[in-house]
Structure 1
């Protein structure tokens, strides 16, 4: 149960990131969140929407894993998608913003360890 809640939290976080990147990128909330100027946001909004879509796919995979009827397969799906999130967070932390390691990577790591130990 605990690992499922943690996986759900990571999924919700990525749905929120999808929303920020696809719909709020050029709005005040998106500008503040990502530290962009209006000019940079306008120039990169299609790239951000693409990133948002990928975050949505990560969330979809995690949600799918929570409802998969076979527990052993569900666990493997959770491990796969959490590792994908962790890899994306590491790459983002190295190339874009170090805070991504904490904001996205830490919840994914905690959920991953939980699934490995409890799930």
Structure 2
């Protein structure tokens, strides 16, 4: 069970690395415009804010990766649980303030990973 939980934690980390790339480097490019349903003008005006948001997603990914790599299983569990809860809170807030899609793309995978982590 721990392998499945860790696999989901790794997936959530990978998603947040992808969000970092989208928000920091591709925000004003065609993929970023399509993904976030922005116009070029709106994307250009919000690029600095998006880059900041991308950086925070990178911190979430780094924390999850830290938890996956930590040699002490007890501390690793706590690190992963903390950062998964952070992802869930960010996803719920994003769903409430920006788009319901965020609940499914960000919060749901993290919630599933957290449940499996608890069961492991």
TM-score (normalised: structure 2): 0.97
2:67 — aligned with what?
Answer: 65
How many residues align? The count is 118
Alpha-carbon distance in structure 1 between the residues aligned to 2:8 and 2:102: 18
5 Å-filtered alignment, 1:1-119, equals 1-118=3-120
List per-residue Cα deviations over 1:68-112 (Å, max 9, x = no partner). Answer: 010000000010000000000000000011100001111001101
Structure 2 Cα separation of the partners of residues 38 and 30 of structure 1: 10
Which contiguous aligned blocks of 4+ residues in structure 1 show a shift greater than 6 angstroms? Answer: none
Q: CA deviation at 1:11?
A: 0.1
RMSD of aligned residue pairs (Cα, Å): 0.4
List runs of 5+ in structure 2 lacking aligned partners. none
